[in-house]
A = this chain, B = another copy of it.
Amino acid sequence: MFASLKDKLLNSKPLMDFLNKHSWLGKTVNKIAINQTVNSARARPHPWSTVHDYVSWVSLTDKKWSARHLPADRRERALPDPLALTALFNRDGQPQRMSKKSTCLFPAFAQYLTDGFIRTRMPSASAGETDQVRLQNTSNHQIDLCTLYGRTQEQTAALRVKSEAKGQKGCLKFQRLKGEEFSPYLYDMEGNFTDPEFTLLDPPLGIGKIQDAEQKARIFAVGGDRVNSAPQVTMINTLFLREHNRLAGEIENNHPRWDDERVFQTARNIVIVLFIKIVVEDYINHISPIEFNMMADPSVVWNAKWNKPNWITTEFSLLYRWHSLIPENIEWMGTHFSPAQAFMNNKPLVDNGLRQGMLDMSKQATAELGSFNTADFLLGVEKQAIEQGRLVNLAPYNDYRAYVSLSKKKNFNEVSSNPKIVEFLKNHYTSVDDIDFYIGLFAEDREKNSPLPELILRFVAIDAFSQALTNPLFSKHVFNESTFSTVGWKAIKNTSTLADILKRHYDDTDDNEFIGMTQKSWHPE
């Protein structure tokens, strides 16, 4: 994960324990590690986007086109058929390999996070759009919790209570179900919007596939069009909804003269920062193969040469498709759900509540990322991903390894230690330098002590830090108590994990309850 520091030192547990305990030293190592990681690739701005093969004012400024780490590769090569390559993901009847490190909370958070800013534009069949629109995106290019707050100001307004009444200032719309706070439902049993303002929201992706009126009437009105795709994703959104409204209440109590607008904007400032802290200190630390706890320390980026505006890349939209992480079977309070049964089905969350959902997701192992391990339900999207790489003329896998300062693989045997994968690659490609980006990403061995293979891990680390920590709320003259209020400043200091937030919403905390992305039983390999 860390370009030059990934050596024996950083795998020494006693040293890491020492660093994690000594904050000044820890902060310094944190800064060095982050800088070395991000500097292993070129800093933004990316010269190219999907609009032109060359540098243009449009490629440098129009963010509706996705940026590119490497320019379009127009060399003529005979490449295997995407459908044939999909076999790399097919379990072929074998049981899924399960992760020894990750719980089901990990893919739930990963999906919620990435759906917020990796937003490939999806073709609208009714508008006669083709796959060409996948060259574009609908991203705000920020980790801005648009899943919770909406992509546009109009959507944000539609999701807000907008009241100056005591106890309502700054709140997001909600309903109580069995005494617990959830987003309002989007549709009634007749399929009509429950609130005329909800017409401004992006329609949930895949809603056309839901025939059951009851299931459709349990879709939540939220900011993101993929939030409702699975109950474990709505679960994460529900957690942040509750935290927003809790903070709004506290801010209102502390600042009774602030209006609805100021209470809302301040709560939102806080929740975005809490989210980014969790991205680094919970999620990235789960992904990291080393024992050192990375910190979301804003001062790391203030003078960093890579502190440049975010711009989602077309490569990132592929390398984050971790379909094989999704298990064929998830339990909610003892009831089993296949991915197809869980698709756009909020019933298990509503029936069992947020806390139980978080507990259930934290006690189950998720599937292992890699080849021959994707749930059958998701094989179609694997094919689509391969095709998207071809559509945007991605350079081959080995070129991307070189780009992030990893050595190129000299032959097929070096790509994977699994003979079946090597055989597969040899059968489909003439040269190791021809391997498609998407295929190479998932053909690699999983990195020791990490849920991810090497190239994905490197890219995720580079982009996580360079996109999360460059958030404007983390900037030098913004990251201070007056931006977040006293209440918020305290919440920021006290938040590192999803569990930290969840606990604030329940009085009867039980130390035996385990909430986490890393399995309770996990030990380094």
Residues of A within 8 A of B (CB): 42-43, 45-47, 52, 54-58, 60-62, 140, 142, 144, 149, 153, 261-262, 265-266, 268-269, 272, 302-303, 305, 307-309, 472-473, 475-478, 482-483
Contacts and interface: CB of A to CB of B under 8 A. Distances in A.
Given A43-B477, A153-B62, A266 B54 contact: yes
A256 to B, nearest CB: 16
A60 B46 CA distance: 22
Closest 8 CB pairs of A and B: A56-B265, A60-B472, A55-B483, A303-B305, A47-B478, A45-B472, A309-B309, A45-B475
B265 A57 contact: yes
Nearest to A60: B472
A156 to B, nearest CB: 9
Given A45-B472, A47-B483, A473-B60, A55 B309 contact: no
11 contacts: A42-B477, A46-B477, A47-B477, A55-B265, A56-B266, A56-B268, A57-B144, A61-B472, A62-B153, A303-B305, A309-B309
Contacts of A272: 57
Contacts of A477: 42-43, 45-47
Nearest to A55: B483
Contact of A265 (B52, B142, B149, B309): B52
Nearest to A57: B268
Given A307-B308, A308-B307, A475-B45, A269 B153 contact: no
B55 A482 contact: yes
Contact of A43 (B140, B142, B476): B476
Contacts of A268: 56-57
Nearest to A265: B56
A47 B55 CA distance: 32
Contacts of A149: 57
Contacts of A62: 153
Contacts of A45: 472, 475, 477-478
Nearest to A54: B262
A158 to B, nearest CB: 15
A266 B62 CA distance: 16
A61 B142 contact: yes
Given A52-B265, A61-B140, 8 more contacts: A43-B476, A46-B477, A47-B483, A56-B265, A57-B144, A57-B149, A60-B472, A307-B307
Contacts of A308: 307, 475
Contacts of A261: 52
Contacts of A307: 305, 307-308
A308 B265 CA distance: 23
A483 B57 CA distance: 10
